[in-house]
Chains A and B, each alone.
Chain A
Amino acid sequence: MTPQAKAFLDKAMPLVSAIGLFLVWELVCRLFAIPDYLLPTPSASFAAAWTYRDAIWMHALQTLLTTLAGFALAVAFGVLLGVAVGSSRAVYRAANPLLIGFNSVPKVAVVPVLVMWFGIGTVPAILTAFLISFFPIVVNVATGLATLEPELRDVLRSLGATRMDILLKVGFPRALPFFFASLKVAVTLAFVGSVMSETVASNLGVGYLMMSASSRFNMPLVFAGLLVIAAMGVAMYAVFSLIEHRSTRWAHRGGDTL
């Protein structure tokens, strides 16, 4: 194979695998004559997406904005907490068990509580997205700050650097790749949170759309919803991956991004 063909194949690989998955799925549905109400074919799902495009667009936009709002909260809160946990041993000792305990609680169990407090709708969805996505940000920012080499700390301290100096000159730049890596994970988790909450308690968003479609046995539309969520997740992941690569080039040494 020529190098050009190899490079082309490398670029086309994600597309090839996606198309391959849809082909297998379509074939399995047709070969085994699986009825639509159990597993619709991808072609039927895409057709449903086209038929209901206006409704899907509205609900998808709602889900996207809800997710991004929750995610923005998670970034702000996650960075603050991550800095506190990563730069102070006392805070780390105090916060760690609480954080782990909190993260172990299934967020779907928290949704009813949020609904009691804020009613059904957008607010619990934003908060669920926030609650589910801040943890990886905290952990990664804290790890980036806490793994500073002791020798480097000694070099800086023997120059008379304050804690703030060390944080600004070394801590933050060092933690940046960790931070961006966590954003990619967190944004996909945020979708999980918002859709989950919409499914349980909302009358807007892709989650609600899917619930109401399944109650009418419109499985192609349910799967259209799933595909839309997956597409939004992939798109957001790609956006943050690109930002990560642009702003922390030194950590990748010009290599390719993941």
Chain B
Amino acid sequence: MTAFVDLDRVTLRYGAGDTLALSETTMKIAKGEFIAVVGPSGCGKSSLLKLVSGLMRPSTGTVIVNGQEVTGPLKIVGMAFQNPTLLPWRTTLDNVMLPMEIVEPHRHRLRKARAEYEERARAMLASVGLAGFEDKFPWQLSGGMQQRTSLCRALIHEPDLLMLDEPFGALDAFTREELWAILQNLWTKRPFTVILVTHDLREAAYLADTIYVMSKRPGRIVHVRPNDLPRPRNLETTFTRDFTDLVHELRDHISAVRAAEETLP
């Protein structure tokens, strides 16, 4: 099996002080796989996303996505961040439509197919529970609703690769759990490859097929843990023995990583 995303001994340095952000990172992600990267903050998780999406180039090593080495920004990627980064002058619907105005071939078809695309955007908003909010502006939505809109914007152009950088980090626990289910639902309907960066271990255990634990400074993958909890997972899953055991196991790895750092000179 060839990997869809293939990182081969990738190292990233930046700044004049030669700060090592990532060191000798190797990952193989299959097409349609949902992976999570967990680790203490400042461990280069976000740099990893930028490397895979081509927004940054590795110092050494290669990044291959879909059989081709990444040399510039990829165009098959959807992204969502902790900050929903919606455009305040656009309605919810127009915010979700933004990728259609930029990504080919939609961009050229937009004039003719606007009605069809808007229908798709409405359906998508409805599937995340935002029917009836299409004409509201971002500041009229709650934080959770804004984040759902941001997810729709990341997925409307049906990207093959979805990058999530702590997307639910700023939400309250209930909203966060609700959005886990929504995201899992979207992913089940049309499987795309997901790289989720988070420091919420329960989030990783709920969503991912494979969990990578990273150490910090320099970021390095210290543990890979396949997660074969049955799908679809729901809130009940999070109370099962297997789930809590998994979270504990991840927690131990993180503690080990942090302890190792503290003993460093």
Q: Report if A251-B88 is in contact (Cβ < 8 Å); known contacts: A158-B53, A159-B103, A169-B98.
A: yes
Q: Mark B28-65, 1 if CB is under 8 A from A, else 0.
A: 00000000000000000000001001110000000000
Contacts of B222 in A (CB 8 A): none
Q: Mark B226-250, 1 if CB is under 8 A from A, else 0.
A: 0000000000000000000000000
Q: Report if A159-B157 is in contact (Cβ < 8 Å); known contacts: A151-B83, A253-B139.
A: yes
Contacts of B89 in A (CB 8 A): 173, 176, 248, 250-251
Contact (Cβ within 8 A) A173 B87: yes
B19 contacts partner chain A, Cβ-Cβ < 8 Å: no
Contacts of A213 in B (CB 8 A): none
B102 contacts partner chain A, Cβ-Cβ < 8 Å: yes
Q: Which of B10-18, B72-80, B182-190, B196-204 contacts A (4 or more CB under 8 A)?
A: B72-80
Q: Report if A170-B87 is in contact (Cβ < 8 Å); known contacts: A158-B73, A159-B157.
A: yes
Contacts of B119 in A (CB 8 A): none
Contact (Cβ within 8 A) A169 B75: no
Contacts of B55 in A (CB 8 A): 154, 157-158
B residues 133-178 with Cβ under 8 Å of A?
137, 139, 153-154, 157, 163
CB < 8 Å: which of A155, A157, A161, A169 contacts B85?
A155
Contact (Cβ within 8 A) A152 B53: no
A200 contacts partner chain B, Cβ-Cβ < 8 Å: no
What is the number of residues of chain A that contact chain B, defined by CB distance less than 8 Å? 21
What is the number of residues of chain B that contact chain A, defined by CB distance less than 8 Å? 28
A169 to chain B, nearest CB (A): 7
Contact (Cβ within 8 A) A160 B73: yes
B54, B77, B89, B137 — most chain A CB neighbours (10 Å): B89
Contacts of B53 in A (CB 8 A): 154, 158
Contact (Cβ within 8 A) B102 A160: yes
Contacts of A173 in B (CB 8 A): 87, 89
User: Which chain B residue lies CB-closest to A154?
Assistant: B55
Contacts of A156 in B (CB 8 A): 102
A205 to chain B, nearest CB (A): 40
Task: Give the CA-CA distance A207 to B9 in the complex, in Å.
Answer: 73
User: Which chain A residue lies CB-closest to B55?
Assistant: A154
A165 contacts partner chain B, Cβ-Cβ < 8 Å: yes
B209 contacts partner chain A, Cβ-Cβ < 8 Å: no
CB < 8 Å: which of B87, B102, B137 contacts A159?
B102
Q: Report if A152-B85 is in contact (Cβ < 8 Å); known contacts: A161-B102, A169-B101.
A: yes
Contact (Cβ within 8 A) A157 B73: yes
CB < 8 Å: which of A160, A170, A251 contacts B103?
A160
B72 to chain A, nearest CB (A): 9
**A155-B154, A251-B89 given. 5 additional CB < 8 A pairs?**
A154-B50, A154-B81, A157-B55, A159-B99, A169-B102
4 smallest CB-CB distances across A and B, nearest first, come from: A160-B75, A158-B77, A250-B89, A152-B85
Query: Can you list 14 pairs linking A and B with CB atoms under 8 Å apart?
Result: A149-B83, A149-B85, A151-B81, A151-B83, A154-B81, A155-B79, A156-B102, A158-B74, A158-B78, A158-B79, A159-B77, A160-B102, A160-B104, A176-B89
